[in-house]
Amino acid sequence: MQILKKTSRLFLVVIGCFLLSSCDSDAVFDEYTSVPNQWNKDSIASFNFKAPDTTKKYNLYVNLRNTNAYKFSNLFLIVELNYPNGKAVKDTLEYKMAAPNGELLGSGFSDLKENKLWFRGYKEPFKFNEEGDYTVNIQHAMRNNGDVDGVKNLEGITDIGFRVEQAQK
């Protein structure tokens, strides 16, 4: 009976590990950088990666982890994609971070929420048309209403990430 319990427990652990590792098979790049205390407006999160297969299509995401200390209903980011040939594309993007009732959006049951925010691929999948090294730079561009100067230190963001997934279609 003791051996049967140990065997079934080991079986469940192996199955659990398999399920966890197989859930993320579409990711070709997924990396985070931690924000030490507050996200300074001059701090840029940079992610470097090699172009995946240039014949396939991809979806690109900005990933964020935030706590209840995040006090805004939206988030403005400046995201720059640098191509291997020197071309750079810079976008100012706005994301909804809270429901109308103030409840933070994202997945997670605790104080920590995880948000997967579209960068490229939401209208049509993105294609890496150049082989080589790409760099993505992410910086916040938050402002308080009526203030010309941006929020110097943004509270509540704990991690910034970037993810490339192979598109399903």
* Residues whose CB is less than 8 angstroms from the CB of residue 13 and which lie 6 or more positions away in sequence, other chains included: none
Q: Could you give the number of structural domains in the chain? A: 1
pTM of the entire predicted model? 0.82
Domain assignment of residue 139, given as a range: 27-166
Q: Per-residue pLDDT for 15 more than 90? A: no
The CATH code of the domain that includes 87 is 2.60.120
91 located within any domain = yes
Mean pLDDT of 75-89: 97
10 located within any domain = no
List the structure tokens of 13: 């652990």
124 located within any domain = yes
107 located within any domain = yes
Q: Per-residue pLDDT for 23 more than 90? A: no
7 located within any domain = no
pLDDT-above-90 percentage for the chain: 70
Mean pLDDT of 4-12: 43
Question: Please, which pLDDT band fits residue 103 given cuts at 50, 70 and 90?
Answer: confident
- Angle in degrees, CA 39, 139, 167, rounded to 5: 120
4 located within any domain = no
Instruction: Give tens-digit pLDDT for 120-151.
Output: 988 899 999 999 999 999 999 998 887 778 88
3 located within any domain = no
In DSSP notation, 51-110 reads ---TTS-EEEEEEEEE-TT---SEEEEEEEEE-TTS-EEEEEEEEE-B-TTSPBPSB-SS
Longest Cα–Cα distance in the chain: 71
Tokens 């049509």 -> residue: 124
pLDDT for residue 169: 65
12 located within any domain = no
